Amino acid sequence: MSTACLAMPLPSMDASRNEPADADLVRRSVAGDTRAFETLYRRHAGRVHGAVWRLSGMNAARAEELTQEAFVRAWQKLDSFRFESAFTTWLHRLAVNVALMELRSRDPEDAHEADVLEAAAEPVRPFCAGERGDLEQAVARLPPRARAVLILHDIEGWKHEEIGRELGMAVGSSKAQLHRARGLLRRMLGEHHD
């Protein structure tokens, strides 16, 4: 089921001195070398997947789709990559945008606070071991927009201005969404624990 939370670093991921730098792999990929792009995928899949997994509300199937979509987009847009920034930053940003694209176009179907809290009060389904489980679950149960703002601000470290621009909302709304998300989290976590 929720195997997505098991970190499974591939042996080849250990950055060895002999491995080519991202920039070289990007150049080879732009020239059409899919093997080079595969190496980039193996190196960065965890980070990309982690970001879209959180934004999708820890939905494993959706996160896999979004990860694939992000890498396909990256391949298509590689020639627009400017080498002054780190490839990992560029890729990460692109992946987040792919995940947000869905959010921007979707019907918010936003729930009342009471409904969110009621849903959160349902029995905790088995999740991966570890103390972060309850927080992750609470985040997953937030209404999509509030969750996106919370993740972008508190996990990805974005500014409200950026979030507002990306999600098509005023800065005030972004701040309020964050406030709301934290409030909901507090109440959800409070209900599970003391």
Partner 1 sequence: MTDFEIQRRLRDLRGPVEPSRDLWPGIATRLTAAAAPAVAPPRRRLPLALAAGVTLTALAGVLAIALQRQPVERPLAGTDPAILPGVGRVPLDQVPGGDPRLAGATLVIDSAQAQLEAALEQQPEAVFLVGLLNRTHAQRMKLERIGAQAG
Partner 2 sequence: MRTAALALSLTGAALLTVPAAPALAAARPIDQTVAVDADARIDVSNIKGSVSVVVWDRDEVAISGTLGDGSKGLTVEGGGSHLTVRVEPPEKSGWFSWGADSRMGETTLRLSVPRRAELEIEVVSASVDVDGSAGRRLSVESVSGALRLAGQPGECDLSSVSGRIEVGGCRERLDVESVSGNVRVRDAGGALEFETVSGDIDVETTRYRTLSAGTVSGTIAIRGELDPDGRVEIESMSGDVALQIGADASVDLHAETFSGRIRSDFGTVRSEDHGPGRSLDTKIGSGAARVRIETFSGGIAITRR
Number of residues engaging partner 2 in binding (CB under 8 A): 4
Q: 167 near 158, Cβ under 8 Å?
A: no
User: Measured from the CB of residue 115, what is the shortest distance to partner 2 in angstroms?
Assistant: 8
**Eight-class DSSP state of 14:** S
Q: Which two tokens stand for residue 106?
A: 């979707």
Distances from the Cα of 65 to the Cα of 28, 57, 103, 173, angstroms: 25, 13, 14, 29
Asked if 12 interacts with partner 1 (CB under 8 A), we say no
Contact 58, 136 (CB under 8 A): yes
Identity of the residue, 23 or 119, whose beta carbon is nearer to partner 2 in the bound complex: 119
The stretch near partner 2 (CB under 8 A) out of 6-14, 65-73, 106-114, 123-131 is 106-114
Q: Could you say whether residue 192 binds partner 1 (CB under 8 A)?
A: no
Look at residue 115 and give the partner it binds from partner 2, partner 1, none, a contact being a CB closer than 5 to 8 Å depending on partner kind. Answer: partner 2
Which of these segments, 17-25, 49-57, 117-125, binds partner 1 (CB under 8 A)? Answer: 49-57
Q: How far apart are CA 52 and CA 132, in angstroms?
A: 17
Kindly give the residue spans of alpha helices, DSSP state H, lying in the chain: 22-30, 34-55, 60-77, 87-105, 113-120, 132-140, 144-150, 160-167, 171-192
Shortest Å distance, C-beta 182 to partner 2: 17
Among 113, 132, 159, 170, binds partner 2 (CB under 8 A): 113
Positive or negative, the CA dihedral 127, 130, 135, 139 is negative
* 89 interface partner picked from partner 1, partner 2, none, CB below 5 to 8 A per type: none
C-alpha angle 147-156-93 in degrees, rounded to nearest 5: 105
**Binding segment toward partner 2, per CB under 8 A, in 22-30, 111-119, 143-151, 169-177:** 111-119
Among 22, 36, 41, 148, binds partner 1 (CB under 8 A): 41
Least Å distance, CB 107 to partner 2, is 13
